[in-house]
Amino acid sequence: MMRTRPLKVALLGCGVVGSEVARIMTTHADDLAARIGAPVELAGVAVRRPDKVRAGIPAELITTDATALVKRGDIDVVVEVIGGVEPARTLITTAFAYGASVVSANKALLAQDGASLYAAAQEHGQDLYYEAAVAGAIPLIRPLRESLAGDKINRVMGIVNGTTNFILDKMDTSGAGYSEALDEATALGYAEADPTADVEGFDAAAKAAILAGIAFHTRVRLDDVYREGMTEVTAADFASAKQMGCTIKLLAICERAADGESVTARVHPAMIPLSHPLASVREAYNAVFVEADAAGQLMFYGPGAGGSPTASAVLGDIVAVCRNRLNEATGPGESAYTQLPVSSMGEVVTRYHISLDVADKPGVLAQVATVFAEHGVSIDTVRQKGKDGEASLVVVTHRAPDAALSGTVEALRKLDTVRGVASIMRVEGE
């Protein structure tokens, strides 16, 4: 039997995502009520610009006082889609204190201070759900928190930023340079006027921190994630990748060490074989590849951003939280029991693709090979082309600690026969 008294939802933020959440709550009200077991009512919407016309939202629901809204005491669920660290953090913890559960899409806050949010939710017996914080509409957080809770996850590797994937895909398929591909992404609305958060990997790093914490049951903060942007990727890099049967993606990679005693989280461009499922992810789509002991290899794929896809994830969380409230229960909280340390990037074992400009004369290859040997790095393949006294030397290594590979590159730069290091890129997915 359906409860007649509605569950009340307060919405913090009414931009692209928030307005779509409000629209779906209104147009799908009957379906949502049937799925939850009680009506859901939009009780208030906190905004910064109250004079802006918001179709479908009654004017009496609009307020600029977000604090007063979350302190009302009759709110069941607060939906936070304003982003940033403050005032979002204070509003969320206040909502918990005043008896509301929270649904958030705030990756930056969760990556920086998720532990304190979990603690506040637990203290007040409330839910904290955040499916929309990573990969938009793709069901990912809940499968990791719940469906795979009985398994051991060893690796999570994925494309978690649609803007960067669109740019790299255009560079790959059309031969465009970075600037040209970025201009197209901006014109189509995939890139912001200031794309720094995307192209320098900040957005993906926040998502990597969240994914690593859930996957490995340990606390991983944004500062723990190694980050490298993709602005230096060139058409020449793609040409080299194609010669290896690879393409280039900006990847978020979270791994458990082979001995199980530590974890790593990193974001950087990498070459991946065309045979890997992530290589076929095109345009602005996201995909995350998960490797677990019992489940094996899983891939989650779909639109990773945008108003409607992200709102879909938010609404899914609203339904779950409302069901919990009706049953006087809460969903999963923080699981950080392993307390594993996060290793530095230097300890990560990777492969390198290194392109060198060298003098075209006898003995150069031997000098280069000696440097690799002195740093304990084994060479997998070498390609050399020479003309008019200059040559290009491409070396692909076997797996080795990243610190050893970085040391090798620095030593190569000091050789008189090496004119310059044209490009360095990690190779993943093998």
Long-range CB contacts (< 8 A, 24+ apart) of 368-373? Answer: 368/393, 368/395, 368/412, 368/415, 368/417, 368/418, 371/408, 371/411, 371/412, 371/415, 372/397, 372/408
CB of 208 closer than 8 Å to CB of 225: yes
Spatial distance between the Cα atoms of 152 and 292, rounded to a whole number of angstroms: 6
Sign of the Cα torsion 341, 347, 353, 354 reads positive
Long-range CB contacts (< 8 A, 24+ apart) of 409-417? Answer: 409/352, 409/354, 411/371, 411/374, 411/375, 412/354, 412/356, 412/368, 412/371, 415/367, 415/368, 415/371, 417/358, 417/359, 417/361, 417/363, 417/364, 417/367, 417/368
Beta carbons within 10 angstroms of residue 154's beta carbon = 18
Sign of the Cα torsion 399, 404, 409, 411 reads negative
Please give the structure tokens belonging to residue 171. 């560079």
In the set 207, 249, 385, 387, the catalytic residue is 207
Query: CB under 8 Å to 362, separation ≥6 — which residues?
Result: none
Residue 280's H or E segment, with its range, is: none
Alpha helices in 103-255 (DSSP H): 107-123, 141-142, 162-174, 178-187, 196-199, 202-216, 235-243
207 carries an active-site annotation: yes
What secondary structure letter does DSSP report for 346? G
Spatial distance between the Cα atoms of 32 and 316, rounded to a whole number of angstroms: 10
Please give the structure tokens belonging to residue 314. 């938010």
CB of 10 closer than 8 Å to CB of 72: yes
3-state secondary structure of 258: coil
Give first-to-last CA distance, the chain, whole Å: 54
Spatial distance between the Cα atoms of 140 and 175, rounded to a whole number of angstroms: 32
Query: Residue 288 burial (CB < 10 Å; 0-12/13-18/19+)?
Result: buried
CA-closest candidate to residue 143, choices 364, 292, 359? 292
- Cα 61 off chain centre by: 33
List the catalytic residues: 207
